[in-house]
Amino acid sequence: MPVDSFNRNIDYLRISVIDNCNLRCVYCMPLDGLQFLPRAELLTAEEIERVVRAAVRVGFRKFRLTGGEPTLRADLVEIVERLRAIDGVGDLALTTNALLLNKLARPLKAAGLKRINVHLDSLRPETLERQMRWGNFARIWDGILAAEDAGLTPIKLNVVVAAGYNEAEVVELAQLTVERDWHVRFIELMPLGGGECARLSIKRYVSNIATRRRIESALGPLAELAAANPADEARNYRLPGARGVVGFISPVSEPYCGNCNRMRLTADGKFHLCLLNDDELDVRKALRAPSLDGGIEEVGAILLRAVATKPTGHHLLEGRSTRERSMYQIGG
């Protein structure tokens, strides 16, 4: 398994397959001024497969497809099929807003996808439409149920908590775990990209300390669960008598850089070394240059270089984050 210069085992690759999205969440994508990658700049399904072959060869085992909104890729099922067929791919998951999942859940499961994380900020249609702009609660909910029905489990819901939007609704979201064996994870806002979404993310930030307090005062004490995997970015708890899990992902109030096991691949073929830092290494050139093995050897070497130069520690509290890339361009 690749080990970085801070002695962290890096074996998890998050693959962004597209930068476009069918939503405009207030902290992620502005309504105006967006420019998406032209199709020719996106890695093809076959190129993504070659990157994963190279990654497996150097010791990566966990993979996640993300975006933008990955379900907008017409060839998403084909991408899953290609990756599933590679020996050494252990975990294969998807992060999605679930708007298109109703139709896609079964084909994705049949193609070999193991599980999904769904982004859902509210159970109230009005709040959801205000925070996840262009969203539709009923369609997202149908998508989640379709995924559960198809066996894409455990279902994990990602809730980004924003002051003046959904902060008071965290109680009803946590309460979902009483009846359902789902994970409901509350995520602290992070400013990325330096634009209006970054400014909103700073202004509307809610610490998970406050979110946890709100949940406990309404629903009772949360019992901490032992970490199944030390690299899990969520700290997990259970409500009294609950079937599911309440998780807190707290990059700002409780950074987890010391346990980071991730590398990221952007949709235009760059290894992005740390979510909260602009450093990248290009891999598309190697994939598109003529070579006998499709560039797999070269891509593996670039990936090992990316691991060796991966930074640690972020500077969110000093107001520093990425300037070049926003969340939808990296994949979360």
Torsion, Cα of 293, 297, 298, 303 (10° steps): 140
Site residues for ligand SF4, 93-112, by CB under 6 A, read: 97
- Residue closer to ligand SF4 by CB (options 175, 266) is 266
For ligand SF4, the binding residue among 15, 18, 23, 146 (CB under 6 A) is 23
Which residues contact ligand SAM by CB under 6 A? 21, 27-28, 66-67, 69, 95-97, 119, 158, 160, 187, 189-190, 192, 201, 327-328, 331-332
The region of 63-71, 164-172, 185-193, 228-236 touching ligand SF4 under the rule CB under 6 A is 63-71
Count H helices, E strands: the chain?
11, 14
Please answer whether residues 186 and 245 qualify as being in contact, where contact means their C-beta atoms are separated by less than 8 angstroms: no
Q: Pull the structure tokens for residue 124.
A: 């109230």
Q: How far is the CB of 25 from ligand SAM (least distance, A)?
A: 6
| In the complex, minimum distance from the CB of residue 311 to ligand SAM, in angstroms, rounded to a whole number | 19
The least distance separating ligand SAM from the CB of residue 191, rounded to whole angstroms, comes to 7
CB of 59 to ligand SF4, least distance (A): 29
Q: Return the HEC string of 277-306.
A: CCCEEECHHHHHCCCCCCCHHHHHHHHHHH
Amino acid (one-letter) located at 319? G
Q: How many residues bind ligand SF4 (CB under 6 A)?
A: 14
What is the C-alpha to C-alpha distance for residues 144 and 99, in angstroms, rounded to an integer? 9
Q: DSSP H helical segments within 58-115, as ranges? A: 76-84, 101-111
Tokens representing residue 150 in the block: 């198809």
Stretch that binds ligand SF4, among 47-55, 62-70, 84-92, 102-110 (CB under 6 A): 62-70
Closest CA to 166 of 204, 111, 195, 223: 204
Confirm or reject binding of residue 29 to ligand SF4 (CB under 6 A): yes
Which positions touch ligand SF4 (CB under 6 A)?
A: 21, 23-25, 28-29, 67-69, 97, 119, 132, 327-328
